[in-house]
Each structure stands twice: as C-alpha cells, then as structure tokens.
Amino acid sequence: MRRITLSRYLIEQQREKNHLNSDLRLLIEVVARACKTISVAINKGELAGVLGSAGTDNVQGEVQKKLDVLSNEILLDANEWGGHLAAMASEEMDEPHPIPNRFPKGEFLLVFDPLDGSSNIDVNMTVGTIFSVLKCPEGVEPNEQAFLQPGVKQVAAGYALYGPSTMLVLTTGHGVDAFTLDREQGSFVLTQKGMRIPEETKEFAINMSNMRFWEAPMQRYINELLAGKEGPRGKDFNMRWIASMVADVHRIMTRGGVFFYPIDSKTKDKGGKLRLMYEANPMSMLVEQAGGAATNGLQRILEIKPEKLHQRVPVMLGSKQEIDLVTSYHLESQ
Ligand code: AHM
Ligand code: MG
C-alpha cells in the first residue's frame, strides 16, 4: 500500500482539492506534532513521573492531573509561534490564551481539551486530545466573545487517541480520515479513509450508574434497549463504557454505536457534564461528517450558539436512527 503521511495528505488536500489553506495546514501539522509529544509522555507513564495529581484545580473545580497540565503546556507552546493563530482556548484555562506580542498572528482560533478522560490515566487506559478550529471574525479582538460561535462554523476538528496505538482522526469538513502514528518514523500515516458510521446499531455507551438521575425520555429510551428482543425494539443491545469520550467515540467511528452523556439531576445546574466547545462540538462535527447524528436531545449540537466558553451540554451522538429516536422522545416530552 502507498504510504501517505499526514504531511503529504494535507498538502494534497490543499493543492488538489482546495480543502484548506496553508495556515490551516500548518495548524493541523502543529497540533499533530504536539499530540506526538503528549503521546510520548503518556507512553512513558510512571517512568517519566507524570502520573498523579498536579495539586491544582481547573476552572471547572476539577483536580488537575500532572498530565492535564503538561498536555496543555505542550499544545500552547507548539502553537504560539507559527503565526497561524489569533488565540487559543483550553478546557484547562479560565480565559482564552492570547498569542504573545512577539509572534505574528493568524486568522484561526484553536480550542482544545488537552487530555480528555484523564481519570483513566493512572490506570493505564486510553485517553485523548480533542481539538476544534474556528475562524476569528474579521476585525474582532480574539477575546472570549470571538470564540462563541456555533459548531457549524468549525473549519476543522479532530482527536488524538492514545491507546494501544496512537491515532489522529481528522475532518476539515470533507469526510473523516484516520492516521496511525508510526513510532519508528515519527509520522502519522493515513490508515483509514472516509470513516462511516452505519445508520443502525445494536451497541450503546452510557454511564448506567446515573440511570436514576436521568430525565424521563432518557430512561424510556434506555429501558427499551434493555428490554432486548422481547421489548419494543425487538433486538438485543450490547453496552460498552470506557469513561473516556475519545475511546468511546472512536469505537463508534469505527464500528457504529451510540454515545450518551445526558442531563441528570446531579449535573442539571451546570447544564450537563461534557463541554460544548471542547468536547461536544468537535465530536459532533466528526460524527456528522461520518454520516452520524449529534443532538442535545432537542436540537443539533452544532447549531447551539454558545453563551460562554466553558458551557456544558447533554450529548447524544452516533448512529443516526438511534439518535433520531432518542431525540424524538425528548421532543415529545416538551
Ligand atoms: P474530563 O474532560 O474531565 O476527562 O471528563 C470527560 C470525561 C469523558 O471523557 C467521559 O465520557 C466522561 O467524562 C466520563 O464520565 P463518568 O466518569 O461520569 O462516567
Ligand atoms: Mg474532557
């Protein structure tokens, strides 16, 4: 098979298909390079002394792991100087990070969750980096307001998955392609073109321990799945929950399925558990680009106009038929 590295893929996307300009190409290359560095740190694990807590809380009041902080710094350092960005925003920082004055500025805004699923780090399980790219509106200061654009405005989104192998899954709005890190060569190599999520599925992912806290439509939907062949759905469903969104979504991107983090009485005050800009929007773009659907139960996630940077949302995404059904249950109950 012809080996296509990420660099070659991006150049071809720019030259032959006009799917990106050279600044966006640079941006994606730099993010990929930062993810390689994060992957090396994760891979060393205990040997590098990077496991455990950093002894600080982030803006969401969550304990930061050393690797959360390290991954955030790696992404900031890698992206500051290239001249392709107007600003960055991270799940781990209260405010957007401006590009220092000593560096040139570009037109893009980079949004990321540097290490998603970090509760899995200390038990040596799969984690990931999620990123989203927006354009800074012309003539606008790259402050928080500039970032508050609905997900449909994303020009690129992706995740790096640090699992048995490290992968980069990417969309620039023309389908979804996946790359695997060749550690000896140090480059990401195209390994899957045009990922597709089948419309139907028999597999779902949800944290079932929260069932008693969910709202009625979510309980109804999951109860119907659990009823199996004898129930209204007439088929048995299987369940998986890794508690690492990148890993759960990657399984869905690979073999179909549905993922839910619905609103529940514990997270209702905050608006949900997952963050709109760092997690829900990039994952929804990838899922839609692969033929799936993503809603908050009532509307397409990508059409939600964010009100604040760290806004949270209920998330339902994956195989289209299931997402349409669970969304219809939520709409009926309005
Ligand atoms: P994080 O950004 O603090 O790591 O939290 C997000 C993670 C997701 O990756 C995952 O889907 C979810 O939290 C798991 O939640 P729970 O522990 O409630 O099952
Ligand atoms: Mg996260």
pLDDT tens-digit series, residues 203-238: 999 999 999 999 999 999 999 999 999 999 999 999
What's the pTM? 0.96
pLDDT at 68: 87
pLDDT of residue 114: 97
Q: Given ligand 1 and candidates 159, 207, 317, which is best to mutate, with the most ligand atoms within 8 Å of its CB?
A: 207
Residue 63 confidence (pLDDT)? 62
End-to-end CA, the chain: 53
Nearest to 221 by CA among 297, 300, 125: 297
Using CB distances shorter than 6 Å, the residues near ligand 1 are: 62, 113, 116-118, 207, 243-245, 248, 261
| Centre of ligand 2 from the C-alpha of residue 123, in Å | 17
Q: Which residues of the chain register pLDDT less than 70? A: 1, 50, 54, 58-64
- In the DSSP assignment, the letter for residue 229 is G
- Atom 12 (ligand 1) nearest CA: 243
Q: Which residues surround ligand 2, an ion (CB under 5 A)?
A: 113, 116
Instruction: Give CA–CA dist 88/259, Å, rounded.
Output: 28
Q: Quick one: tokens of 219?
A: 């309980």
Domains of the chain from N-terminus onward: 6-192 (3.30.540.10), 203-332 (3.40.190.80)
Beta-ladder partners of 64 = 56
134 vs 195: CA distance, rounded Å = 23
Q: How confident is the model over 16-52, as pLDDT tens digits? A: 888 899 999 999 999 999 999 999 999 988 887 767 7
Between the CA of residue 16 and those of 9, 20, 89, 174, 279, what are the distances in Å? 10, 10, 31, 13, 31
CA 126 / ligand 2 centre spacing (Å): 13
List of residues 6+ apart from 8 with CB closer than 8 A: none
Residue 86: the pLDDT is 97
What are the start-end ranges of the E strands in 34-107?
Answer: 53-57, 63-65, 85-90, 97-98
Nearest ligand to the CA atom of 57: 1
**164 Cβ neighbours under 8 A, 6+ residues apart:** none
DSSP lists the bridge partners of residue 189 as 5, 180
Atom of ligand 1 nearest to the CA of 246: 9
pLDDT at 66: 84
CA 289 – ligand 1 centroid, Å: 23
Q: For CA atoms 15, 20, 22, 25, give the dihedral sign.
A: negative
